[in-house]
């Protein structure tokens, strides 16, 4: 199984989990989303950060707000549930 995810385009705190939507720009603009365990770290995820997941693990790479670079390490978080949006694949098959 390969990693799913991309650039964070939206987050939502539902009080129990943090829902994160991502968009991968290459090879297509496929969107995907994941529920993450609600922790102080997961509440810090912002638009523009990178987020990828596989199995029960999520890897978050925060973007530096000052110089727009990415952190040199990935922060490991716990996945609750993940959904891959396959609208681009469905459209390609039609």
**pLDDT for 43:** 94
In SS3 terms, 31-70 reads as EEEEEEECCCCHHHCCCCCEEEEECCEEEEECECCCCCCE
Q: What is the pLDDT of residues 8-37, one digit of tens each?
A: 999 999 998 899 999 887 666 788 889 899
pTM equals: 0.76
Mean pLDDT across 41-64: 90
For the chain, give every domain's residue range.
4-93
Cβ pair 50, 60 in contact under 8 A: yes
Cβ pair 24, 53 in contact under 8 A: no
* Pairwise CA distance, residues 81 & 79, whole Å: 6
* Pairwise CA distance, residues 94 & 78, whole Å: 36
- pLDDT cut 70: percent of the chain above it: 74
């Amino acid at each position: 199984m390969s990693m799913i995810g991309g650039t964070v385009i939206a987050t939502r705190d539902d009080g129990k989990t943090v829902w994160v939507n991502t968009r991968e720009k290459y090879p297509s603009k496929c969107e995907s989303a994941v529920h993450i365990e609600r922790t102080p770290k997961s509440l810090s995820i912002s638009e523009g950060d990178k987020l990828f997941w596989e199995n029960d693990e999520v890897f978050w790479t925060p973007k530096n707000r000052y110089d727009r670079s990415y952190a040199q390490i990935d922060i490991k978080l716990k996945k609750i549930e993940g959904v891959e949006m396959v609208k681009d694949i469905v459209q390609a098959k039609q």
